[in-house]
Amino acid sequence: MRLRRIGIALVTLVMVCRIHICLSENITRGSFPKGFVFGTASSAFQFEGAVKEDGRGPTVWDTFSHTFGKVADFSNADIAVDDYHRYNEDIQLIKDMGMDAYRFSIAWSRIFPNGSGEINQKGVDHYNNLINALLAKGIEPYVTLYHWDLPQALEEKYQGWLNPQIIKDFATYVETCFQKFGDRVKHWITFNEPHTFTVQGYDVGLQAPGRCSILLHIFCRAGNSATEPYIVAHNVLLSHATVADIYRKKYKQKQRGSLGIAFDVMWFEPATNSIDDIEAAQRAQDFQLGWFIEPLILGDYPSSMRGRVGNRLPEFSKSEATLLKGSLDFVGINYYTTFYARKNSSDSLVKILNDSIADSGAITLPFKDGKAIGDRASSIWLYIVPEGIRKLMNYIKQKYGNPLVIITENGMDDPNNSLISIKDALKDEKRIKYHNDHLTNLLAAIMNDGCNVRGYFAWSLMDNWEWAAGYTSRFGLYFVDYKDKLKRYPKDSVTWFKQFLTST
């Protein structure tokens, strides 16, 4: 009988360790500095659905997702995971996990259906209700003002981000948000991943609005990959600086909030120890993070970009540079993966592509000598390299003066496999290990290396519509049953986070 009890106890211990990754032997919430914020995240277009309800106007992603061949599974986000109607239920899921904060985005076209003009009060009411519901549960809202869903009306009116007129319209929209929600929202993120939507939308054409000139226009009907990404990025940066100036002059003192951007950043490892590859890794970073953060910290683009892009890279006037410099209260970082970088020695490839990717003079891949840099998640680009987050934090500390950093996204996806039962799909040990290992490296960056990191947001709250991947990819902590009324089920990672967030 005693042996049987010992056996049962061992089995129980194994099960607990399977779910909790033997947390007692690893990090705890108490390991992190006092006041460190833990949260989870979403975006309006991927979660809300209700695309034609309560006055919402169409966006470039509505148009793109309804264009044949643009989304892997031919789906669209008309319903997504119906968070527009179920936000109270979804907020309870956040509360159940013990998260401190929730990052979500406001849909510009719910506030201004045409991008400008009359305010849509029903849109304002929805976000007021959402914010109030979060605060009632003790959850701090972190609000993203632009998560890729440009109102279609502005794309048709003047080509959206390609026209400097958008700076004024964006400022009007954002100031409206400050006025309507700023008494309760203390953390603003102006843009999510400007590098991603700039390159994917205006260079390679794989995301909305789908503009490019590479590959002989096989995928794109219009665009210029050699110039448009730089024009878009320029207007995005000036838009951020404009609204940061408005906030500081008119709202910050009373509302006492802060304002930053969520940058998408891979870490790049030189493929070899050669000077060529070390320099290539730096250029790759300049054309990714540096492109957007250096104007906001130093007042201009990286010198490597100026030298390689030449007159295709727009210039900032002295007044614009002044406006840009110092316009970040915090640096948001969306980190998922690490790639190798090596020098691109092919002049012919550069001439053929003639775009921002080729301009960097670096080839970035997750393989070296036929071997992957890490275990792969479901997405073809997402290889699991937890130590990359620590190296990236140290890079930001050393290069940019140790600014306040918040990890605004970190996570991994599983495939949406219809052959796997829900019971088995909830067993996401790989995701648990991903978060545990990244948090372990992040903690080392903070405590051992002195990096100024104050928060961590897991992407994402639940499985959702994942842009060009549609519903083929599951990033969620909660499983969504797309076949049965979008029911939500906690994965084992929810149990892990519950345990982690109550550990000392």
Tell me: the pLDDT tens digits for 27-47? 999 999 999 999 999 999 999
Closest among 190, 104, 203, 194 to 146, alpha carbons compared: 190
* Confidence band of 352 (pLDDT split at 50, 70, 90): low
The SS3 of residue 376 is strand
Predicted local confidence at residue 214, as pLDDT: 77
- Asked if the structure places residue 452 within a domain, the reply is yes
286 is a domain residue: yes
Q: How many helices (H) and strands (E) does the chain have?
A: 21, 19
Work out how many domains the chain is built from and give that number: 1
Please check whether residue 256 lies inside any domain of the structure.
yes
pLDDT of residue 6: 35
Place of tokens 């958008």: 166
* Exposure on the CB side of residue 231, measured as CA atoms within 13 A: 19
Would you please indicate which residues are annotated as catalytic (active-site) residues? 193, 409
**Which pairs with CB-CB distance under 8 Å and at least 24 residues apart come from 134-138?**
134/91, 134/94, 134/102, 135/184, 137/91, 137/92, 137/94, 137/95, 138/95
Handedness of CA 120, 126, 130, 132 (dihedral sign): positive
Average confidence score pLDDT of the chain: 94
Q: What percent of the chain has pLDDT over 90?
A: 91
Q: What is the mean pLDDT of residues 430-448?
A: 98
Q: Is residue 13 part of a domain?
A: no
> Is 459 in contact with 450 (CB distance < 8 Å)?
no
Give the pLDDT mean for 446-471.
Answer: 98
Whether residue 2 is predicted with pLDDT greater than 60 in this model: the reply is no
Residues 223 and 199 sit within 8 Å (Cβ to Cβ):
no
CATH of the domain at 127: 3.20.20.80
Mean pLDDT of all residues in 37-58: 98
What gap in Å lies between CA 285 and CA 274, rounded to an integer?
A: 17
| pLDDT score for 348 | 57
Distance CA 460, CA 2 (A): 44
Report yes or no on 105 lying in a domain: yes
Per residue in 372-383, pLDDT (tens digit) is 999 999 999 999
What's the maximum distance between 2 C-alpha atoms anywhere in the chain? 82
> Distance (Å, rounded) from C-alpha 120 to C-alpha 137?
27
Q: What is the pLDDT of residue 346?
A: 77
Mean pLDDT of 428-434: 98
Flag whether 439 is in a domain. yes
Average pLDDT over residues 256-285: 98
Residue at 18 is within a domain = no
Residue 258, phi then psi, degrees to nearest 5: -135, 160
pLDDT band for 15, please (50, 70, 90 cuts).
very low
Question: What would the pLDDT profile of 104-154 be if each residue is shown by its tens digit?
Answer: 999 999 999 999 999 999 999 999 999 999 999 999 999 999 999 999 999
pTM of the model: 0.94
Pairing of strands 478-481, 487-490: antiparallel
Distance CA 107, CA 477 (A): 23
State residue 10's pLDDT score: 36
CB-based contacts of 345: which residues, under 8 Å, 6+ apart?
none
How far apart (Å, rounded) are the C-alpha atoms in residues 373 and 440? 19
2 found inside a domain: no
CA 77 to CA 451: how far, in whole Å? 38
Q: Which residue has the higher pLDDT, 217 or 271?
A: 271
**Length of the chain as a residue count:** 504
Residue 289 has pLDDT above 90, yes or no: yes
* pLDDT band of 25, cuts 50, 70, 90: low
Q: What is the pLDDT of residues 199-231, one digit of tens each?
A: 999 999 999 999 999 764 577 889 999 999 999
pLDDT at site 345: 86
pLDDT exceeds cutoff 90 at 350 = no
Show the domain range for 294: 29-502
H runs (alpha helix) in 189-338:
194-202, 228-250, 252-255, 275-285, 291-297, 303-309, 318-324
Q: What confidence score (pLDDT) does residue 7 get?
A: 41
R_g over Cα of the chain: 22
